[in-house]
Structure formats: structure tokens, C-alpha cells
Amino acid sequence: MKIGDMVVASYNAGDARGKNYMGTVIEVEEVTDLFSEKYAITETNTYVRVLVEGQVMTFAVEDDSIEVIKSETA
């Protein structure tokens, strides 16, 4: 998945999928967070920002459903 790809994405709540949103990927960001300060454990999360009808929505690759429906070829 890369900038310019057309995707269908939805937020997941437990086992249920939410409403589908169709839009264009405008940013893919990888963030390292501190999972446990006591044991110095970090985790890496990947967030995809999608432009949907003029609004930027953020989806987590690990938690939400994101499907590429049209890949932008360079």
C-alpha cells in the first residue's frame, strides 16, 4: 500500500466491522510507541491516512480493515 492507492477501509470494533469508507491514501506513517516503560518494550504501529470525501481519516493497519482496490502505478 502506498500514497495514491484507492482503498476501502473500515474501523473494527471487536469482531464487528464498521462502515466502509472509500478514498485515496495520502500518508503511511510508522510510529514506535513505548508499550511497557517498566520493561522497556516498544511496539511499532502503522497508520494509514485516507482522504474520504474531503475529510482525512486515520486507520491502523494492525487493527482496522484496509483493502487496496486500485493501485497507483509509478
How confident is residue 17, by pLDDT bands cut at 50, 70 and 90?
Answer: confident
What is the mean pLDDT of the segment spanning 8-15?
87
Query: How far apart (Å, rounded) are the C-alpha atoms in residues 45 and 17?
Result: 20
The pLDDT tens digits for 23-52 are 999 999 999 989 888 998 999 999 999 999
The pLDDT, as a whole number, for residue 14 is 72
pTM: 0.84
What is the mean pLDDT of the segment spanning 56-66?
95
Query: How far apart (Å, rounded) are the C-alpha atoms in residues 4 and 70?
Result: 9
State phi, psi for 35 to the nearest 5 degrees.
-80, -45
Tell me what the pLDDT averaged over the chain comes to: 92
